[in-house]
Amino acid sequence: MGAHHQGVTTTDSPPRGAWAAPVLAGLVLALSAVAPFVRFGDGVPSVGGADVVAAALSVAAWAPFVAALAWLGRRAPGRGAWLGGAVLLLVAPPLHTLLFAALMGIVAGGVPPAMRPGGPVFLVFTLLGALQFLVVLAVAEARRAARAAAGLALEHAWMEAELTKARLDALRAQLEPHFLFNTLNSVAVLAPTDPAGAQAMVRRLSELLRAVLADDAMTVPLRRELELLEAYVDIQRVRFGDRLRVTAEVDADALECRVPTLVLQPLVENAIRHAVERREGGGHVRVRGRVDRGRVLLDVTDDGPDAADEPPPAGGFGVGLRNTASRLGALYGAAHALRLTRPEQGGCAVRLELPAR
Amino acid sequence: MSGAALDVLVVDDEPLARAGVRALLAEQPEVGAVREARDGEAAVAAIRERRPDLVFLDVQMPRLDGFGVVEAVGAGAMPPVVFVTAYDAHAVRAFEVHAVDYLLKPVDPARFRDAFVRAARAAAGGGAAALRAATGS
């Protein structure tokens, strides 16, 4: 549909060319109203002043019936309007002719016998009236259809907007705005003093953005996910200095399993926050992956402070892990598990279990 | 703007972000000493002990964030503060705690200059006079 992208704007103003049908129909009605009064004296068509008055009365006599049709359209849209229109088509023409004859009687001081019900002129006017009313019905139907199409276009645009919002939410869950803008800030700071470093950072960020914005961005093979994790860790290393150490040990059979894109990033970020940021000496984040009985098991552990040193975050998860949990819920439902534990030997451990696909 | 050079405290958990604000401060002739704090707790301690003339404060930091710092020091004892944040989700809250200004990273140098001048006026005037100075005149 052409109106797809303008759905929102087309509803208030009628679609382009909507004036054509009513104007053409008006022309047909005006001509057909005047036609019966044209005289052919001496083979030359002519219309007298009284004839124009009669034609105008004929048109004016339609007013109550058009009003009735409009009222029907508002009161009973859809099938009801069709039924009402059909009834009006049967009833309106003879009633119109009666009204017209009555108006002529008032203006001319009496109704000529030929225009009385059953007379030949009465029949001709009724038939003509039926044709004229058909034209009005056709215009009304065309306008109704145009409005319905505009409504449909609006609905399409609305659904598309919802879909875009859902994708944006997914994007935010994968690549947090704070991370994005802090990284851009780092690039801006590096640019004058360390252009090569700034360029490297832009390349790494581009890699992450490309992965997140790809058409099939929902999941990637774990092999690819580890590459993306490396890009992320490279960026964090520049941002937070060299204190950050991240290593990955993943079994070969786990490498081809599909996992949600950038699912490791919030887990590692959580570990970095916990183990690295708050310690002068830095810390070590370890990622392990294996397949066990049809399940992919991913462990992210750090060597941060002992559990006794600090209570776990309220509610178990921080904001990052909560977003991850809801994203996993949407993708896998009950088929996944995400657990945060504080091992005896200290640090923090997150285990993610997914179906191996 | 005359008188003694201004003591400025820069608070951010990222070394690079601190370096960025420091580089922008180097462009301001009114600046004297610049100190850094790498988290909220260090910021609270530095504000209490060193009493800087103004503070550039990151919003999002682990444990104690920028708002937590203002709360811990107390609005009355807090020097004029300019919040610096990566993502625009806290502006309203920043002005509720009477921040002089609110900057988004990456920071535009001209915008930084505006914020700095306002903060410096607030530091020179103090209290209600600072508010009047910050809003023009």
Q: Which residue of A has its CA nearest to B20?
A: A189
Q: Does the CB of A239 have a partner CB in chain B at under 8 Å?
A: yes
Most confident stretch, A136-145, A232-241, B116-125: B116-125
Distance CA A111, CA A108 (A): 8
Secondary-structure percent of chain B, ordered helix, strand, coil, rounded to 5: 45, 20, 35
The per-residue pLDDT for A310 is 53
**Do residues B1 and B117 touch, judged by C-beta distance below 8 A?**
yes
Distances (CA, A) of A129 to A72, A76, A113, A143, A349: 19, 24, 19, 21, 85
The tens digit of pLDDT for each residue in A11-28 reads: 445 556 667 777 888 888
Q: Does the CB of A77 have a partner CB in chain B at under 8 Å?
A: no
Using the beta-carbon criterion (under 8 Å), do B16 and A178 form an inter-chain contact? Answer: no
DSSP one-letter code for B53: S
Strands A295-302 and A348-355: antiparallel
* Residue B134: inside a domain: no
Chain A residues 178-207 within an 8 A CB cutoff of chain B: 178, 180-182, 184-190, 192
Examine the pLDDT at A152 and tell me if it is beyond 50. Answer: yes
Examine the pLDDT at A5 and tell me if it is beyond 50. Answer: no
The per-residue pLDDT for A16 is 65
Q: Find all residues with CB under 8 Å of A212, minimum gap 6, and list them.
A: A171, A174, A175, A261, A262
* Residue B46: inside a domain: yes
Examine the pLDDT at A43 and tell me if it is beyond 80. Answer: no
Inter-chain contacts counted by CB atoms under 8 A, chains A and B = 55
Distance CA A223, CA A259 (A): 10
The pair phi, psi for residue A298, each rounded to 5°, is -115, 125
Domains of chain A: 2-172 (no CATH), 175-355 (3.30.565.10)
The per-residue pLDDT for A319 is 64
**Do residues B42 and B49 touch, judged by C-beta distance below 8 A?**
no
Q: Which residue of A has its CA nearest to B23?
A: A189
Examine the pLDDT at A308 and tell me if it is beyond 50. Answer: no
Using the beta-carbon criterion (under 8 Å), do A181 and B23 form an inter-chain contact? Answer: no
Examine the pLDDT at A307 and tell me if it is beyond 70. Answer: no
Q: Find all residues with CB under 8 Å of A235, minimum gap 6, and list them.
A: A183, A186, A201, A204, A205, A208
Using the beta-carbon criterion (under 8 Å), do B86 and A181 form an inter-chain contact? Answer: yes
**Phi-psi label, residue A122: left if phi above 0, alpha if psi -120 to 50, beta otherwise:** alpha
pLDDT band at B1 (very low <50, low <70, confident <90, very high): very low
* Residue B137: inside a domain: no
SS3 labels along A92-135: HHHHHHHHHHHHHHHHHCCCCHHHCCCCHHHHHHHHHHHHHHHH
3-state SS assignment for residue B54: strand
Distances (CA, A) of A324 to A200, A216, A268, A296: 28, 19, 12, 17
pLDDT band at A256 (very low <50, low <70, confident <90, very high): very high
Q: What is the mean pLDDT of residues A72-101?
A: 80
Distance CA A350, CA B19 (A): 33
Examine the pLDDT at B128 and tell me if it is beyond 50. Answer: no
Using the beta-carbon criterion (under 8 Å), do A238 and B16 form an inter-chain contact? Answer: yes
Q: Which residue has the tokens 């359209």?
A: A73
Nearest to A125 by CA among A139, A112, A138: A112
Distance CA B113, CA B27 (A): 9
Q: What is the CATH number of the domain that holds B50?
A: 3.40.50.2300
Percent of chain A with pLDDT over 90: 24
The per-residue pLDDT for A315 is 44
Q: Does the CB of B107 have a partner CB in chain A at under 8 Å?
A: yes
Q: Does the CB of A278 have a partner CB in chain B at under 8 Å?
A: yes
- Chain B residues touching residue A242 (CB < 8 angstroms): none
Nearest CA of chain B to the CA of A190: how many Å? 8
Q: What is the mean pLDDT of residues A286-290?
A: 95
Examine the pLDDT at B27 and tell me if it is beyond 50. Answer: yes
The pair phi, psi for residue A166, each rounded to 5°, is -60, -40
The tens digit of pLDDT for each residue in A160-209 reads: 887 777 667 767 777 888 889 999 999 999 999 999 999 999 999 999 99
Chain centre to alpha carbon of residue B68: 14
Q: Which residue of A has its CA nearest to B106?
A: A185
Query: Which one of B15, B62, B104 has the shortest CB-CB distance to A241?
Result: B15
Burial (CB count within 10 angstroms: exposed 0-12, middle 13-18, buried 19+), residue B110: exposed
Using the beta-carbon criterion (under 8 Å), do B105 and A240 form an inter-chain contact? Answer: no
Query: Which one of B13, B23, B87 has the shortest CB-CB distance to A181?
Result: B87
Examine the pLDDT at A7 and tell me if it is beyond 70. Answer: no
Burial (CB count within 10 angstroms: exposed 0-12, middle 13-18, buried 19+), residue A13: exposed
Examine the pLDDT at A2 and tell me if it is beyond 50. Answer: no
Interface test with A, best of B13, B14, B16 (most A CBs within 10 A): B16
Nearest CA of chain A to the CA of B1: how many Å? 28
* Residue B135: inside a domain: no
Q: Find all residues with CB under 8 Å of B64, minimum gap 6, and list them.
A: B39, B40, B41, B43, B44, B72
Compute the mean pLDDT over every residue in chain B, rounded to the nearest whole number: 87
* Residue B118: inside a domain: yes
Most confident stretch, A80-89, A164-173, B127-136: A80-89
Nearest CA of chain B to the CA of A223: how many Å? 30
pLDDT band at B129 (very low <50, low <70, confident <90, very high): very low
* Residue B59: inside a domain: yes
Please report how many Cα atoms fall inside a 13 Å half-sphere around the Cα of residue A196, on the Cβ side.
Answer: 0
Nearest CA of chain A to the CA of B129: how many Å? 34
* Residue B133: inside a domain: no
Q: Does the CB of A321 have a partner CB in chain B at under 8 Å?
A: no
Q: Find all residues with CB under 8 Å of B54, minimum gap 6, and list them.
A: B6, B7, B8, B9, B79, B80, B81, B82, B100, B119, B120, B122, B123
Q: How many domains does chain B have?
A: 1
The pair phi, psi for residue B64, each rounded to 5°, is -95, 110
Distance CA A184, CA A238 (A): 12
- Range(s) of the domain holding residue B57: 6-128
Using the beta-carbon criterion (under 8 Å), do B14 and A187 form an inter-chain contact? Answer: no
Question: To which H or E segment does residue A348 belong?
Answer: strand A348-355
State the amino acid at position A97 in one-letter form.
T
Examine the pLDDT at A259 and tell me if it is beyond 70. Answer: yes
Chain centre to alpha carbon of residue A318: 32
Nearest CA of chain A to the CA of B3: how many Å? 30
Q: Which residue has the tokens 């490279």?
A: A234
* Residue B24: inside a domain: yes
Q: Does the CB of B110 have a partner CB in chain A at under 8 Å?
A: no
Q: Does the CB of A273 have a partner CB in chain B at under 8 Å?
A: yes
